[in-house]
Chain A
């Protein structure tokens, strides 16, 4: 069901010491303040900068909490998380954002600019990628074009439809070319054609030696693109 090549490559790579874990979780437990039952318990996991890692689980199993821990929005109650060898708690959100591109479950929450074009250009300008104004404009045009958002370039992002907002949120993160993409329910609201577009882009990301983590319920999409499947059950991970 899953890409056998990807799996074999990963096993071989780990055995030969080719791959270093990009994100490492050691005994991570997380409990929301005021609650006695932890959402996630003693999680030990390595995430690599290659292939598509899919994380699934029932509603309320802690998938989004897990993604927020990976991006540093939440801090583990116990244990630690390392990003490329550095403790996540020692990095600012901006520093994490330079390495991990995160698309929220509700993409409307991450749109804050006045036009679609500005939304995509925002991160490129701020991250100091050493691009000239023309290069930024060219990159933005290319992404607008790829995600078929060109005709909305001057539109107010919050007036877009739910599916368009999701496309824009994904585009605004993709343009930054982070080492690892973390997508929380990326296919919600996308039509089959745009799901395929997203999948094609994921293929490009993987080809560029970047990793993707998808948190999703979309079995069809996962089975098509994931190289590794992890299931969240009662606060713990089960690798399949």
Chain B
């Protein structure tokens, strides 16, 4: 599947994320997530290794799930305090739906890693999206690691000047985070501005019409995969809406 056309991959990601957004039951969402994991396994992408990089976000996710399960009313009451229902079956359903939805969205986006960024620019332009916009999408994707690097550097600089971010109370921590946010954004915007100048200095958008040495072409496998994903999405959504 890693040899598939990037456009086919874009279609498959769109189908998977559409299903993840529209399905509203934990079991179908779990099945969708498992199916996405199988695709990743097929593509030799280690989902768990990549997810571990985001382990710091886990408490946030957990908090969201707890809030969701507490504030969704209805269904069988599982835990109550006097007249207040703390945990209901609908609450748990809702939390599970959110968990599997987020996991599916996150894992389906990993499919994008199997083609080079140049291929995606080609794919988007061949999908009649203006080259400038396609290129901007690519630059935005490349900018993310730079942004993360900037955050890391600033945190290191703050700590090296005596602020023990791991040990100070949360309210102070938030104060420091808000303090460095403005210079951080300023630095990133400055970089974006410099990048724009560099691009223009290297003749970006000089000619209205661009030509490409290589053109992407669909193979039989691409058609099979695209048709499968399109039909499966329509069938699942229709079934979900009708019943």
Contact = CB atoms under 8 A, between A and B. Distances in A.
Interface of A: 71, 73, 92-98, 102, 104, 108-114, 122-123, 126-128, 156-158, 172, 176
Contacts of A93: 156, 159-160, 164
B45 to A, nearest CB: 15
Given A73-B156, A93-B156, A158-B190, A113 B183 contact: yes
Interface of B: 150, 153-154, 156-167, 179-180, 182-184, 186-187, 190
A114 B182 contact: yes
A160 to B, nearest CB: 12
A158 B159 contact: no
5 contacts: A73-B156, A94-B167, A96-B160, A97-B162, A126-B162
Given A158-B186, A158-B187, A158-B190, A112 B160 contact: no
Contacts of B179: 112-113
Contacts of A95: 164
* 5 shortest interchain CB distances as A-B pairs: A97-B160, A126-B162, A123-B161, A93-B159, A110-B157
A113 B176 CA distance: 10
A127 B161 CA distance: 7
Contacts, number: 68
Interface of A is mostly: helix
A156 to B, nearest CB: 8
B159 A109 contact: no
B2 to A, nearest CB: 19
A213 to B, nearest CB: 15
A111 B162 CA distance: 14
B187 A104 contact: no
A122 B154 CA distance: 14
A156 B164 CA distance: 25
A112 B154 contact: yes
Contacts of B156: 73, 93
Contacts of A126: 161-163
B157 A94 contact: no
Contacts of A71: 160
B161 A97 contact: yes
A176 B161 contact: yes
Nearest to A92: B164
Given A92-B159, A110-B154, A114-B182, 15 more contacts: A71-B160, A92-B164, A94-B160, A94-B167, A97-B162, A98-B162, A104-B157, A112-B154, A122-B161, A123-B161, A126-B163, A127-B161, A158-B190, A176-B161, A176-B162
